[in-house]
Structure 1
Amino acid sequence: MRRLTSILLPLIGVLYPFVVYFGMEKVAPPVFALVLGAIWLIRAPALLREPGGRWMVAVALTYCVLLAVTGEARLLRWYPTLISVFLLATFGLSLVYGPPIVERIARMREPELPPEAVPYTRKVTQVWVGFFVFNGLVSAALTLWAPLTWWTLYNGLLAYFIMGVLFVGEWLLRQRMRKRFA
C-alpha cells in the first residue's frame, strides 16, 4: 500500500494537466478537490515524517478545501504552480539547512560520498532550484494569461521534457566527472 501511494501522487501530478483539460467541462471542481484531497490524505502519514511535510500537507489540503468551497474552475490550473512552489521550497531550504537534497539522494546510493562530490551536489541542487523558479513562474503566467491548451501543453509535456533534459544532462556530466576523478 505504501508503494502504491508513493507512486499515486506523482502519477496524478503528471496526468493532472490532461485530466483538467479533458475533464474540466465534465467534472465539477469540488470533485477534483475531493480526489486530490484524498490522495494528499493517503500520502500524509509519510509526508508528515519528512522535513517540511506538515506545511506541505496543510497547504495542499487548504488548496483542496478552497477549490471545493469556491467551485472555481480557474483554481484547477494553479495546482502545478503549487507543486513547483513545494519543490522550490524543499530544494531551496535544503541549501540553507543542509545537506542539499541532491546530496541526500546521492548518499542513499553511495553513503561514503567522495568529498569532491559534495560541492557538486550543492550546485546540482541550485540548478534544480533555478528550474523550479522558472517552472513556477511559467506555470503561473500560463494560468493567468494563456488559453487552457497552452497551459496543458506546458504543464503536461514541456515541463517534463525540460526536467528530462536536466536529468540526462546532469547524468552525462556526472559520468564525465567520475572518469576524471577515478
Structure 2
Amino acid sequence: MSRLIGLGLLLAGLLYPFAVYFGMEHFAPWQFGLLLGSLWLARVLSGEHKPGSVWMAGVAIAFCVLLALFDSPQLLRWYPVLISSFMLVLFASSLTFGMPMVERLARLREPDLPPEAIRYTRQVTLAWSVFFFCNGLCAALLTLWAPLDWWMLYTGLISYGLIGLMFAIEWLIRQRVRGRT
C-alpha cells in the first residue's frame, strides 16, 4: 500500500504543473490542497518512514492546509519550490549528517565502495544540492514574476529535462572516472 501511495505522490508531483495550468478553470485551489494533503497524510499513516519522510510530510501537509484555508491560486505555484527545497535539504544535510545521499544509493548496488568512489559520491551529492538550490530558485522566481504558462513550462518540462541532463552528465563522468581506476 505504501508503494502505491508513493507512486501517487510521484505522479502528483510530475503532473502538478499541468494540473494547475489546465485545472484552474475547473477546480479551486483548496481542492488541490485537499488532494495533495490527503496523499501526504496517507504516506505518514502508511507506517513506512524513510529518512526525512515524517518532517517532509508534516511540512507538505502544513502547506496543503494553508492552500486549503487561503484558497489562493498564487499559493498553488509554490509547491514545486517546496519539493525542490525538500530535495535540497535531503542532499545537503546528508553531506553533514550520516552518509552522503549518492553514496547511500551507490552502496545499494556496490556495498564495498573504494575510497575514491566515496569521494566521488560526495562530490555528486554536492552537485545535486547545487542543482536543487538553483532549480528551486528558478521556480520561485517564476512563481513571483512570470506568467503561469512560463511557470508551467519550467516546472513541468524544463526542470525534468534538466534533471535528466544532470543524470546523463553524471553517468558519463562516472564512466570516465571508473575507466581511470
Q: TM-score range by the shorter chain?
A: over 0.9
Q: TM-score, structure 2 length as denominator?
A: 0.95
Residue in structure 1 matched with residue 146 of structure 2 by the alignment: 146
Which stretches of structure 1, 4 residues or longer, exceed 3 Å deviation after superposition?
45-48
Partner SS state of residue 50, structure 1: coil
Question: 1:119–1:46: structure 2 CA closer, same or farther, 3 Å change rule?
Answer: farther
CA separation in 1, counterparts of 2:41 and 2:171? 34
Matched, 1:15 2:15: yes
Gaps of 5+ in 1: none
Residue in structure 1 matched with residue 34 of structure 2 by the alignment: 34
CA contact (8 A) 1:91 1:125 kept: yes
Partner SS state of residue 116, structure 1: helix
CA separation in 1, counterparts of 2:48 and 2:79? 20
CA separation in 2, counterparts of 1:54 and 1:6? 13
Task: Percent identity, please.
Answer: 56
CA contact (8 A) 2:91 2:100 kept: yes
C-alpha RMSD of matched pairs (Å): 1.3
Shift of 1:54: 2.3
CA contact (8 A) 1:81 1:140 kept: yes
Task: Write the mapping of 1:22-171 to structure 2, written as runs, cut at 5 A.
Answer: 22-45=22-45, 49-171=49-171
Gaps of 5+ in 2: none
One-letter code aligned to 2:88: L
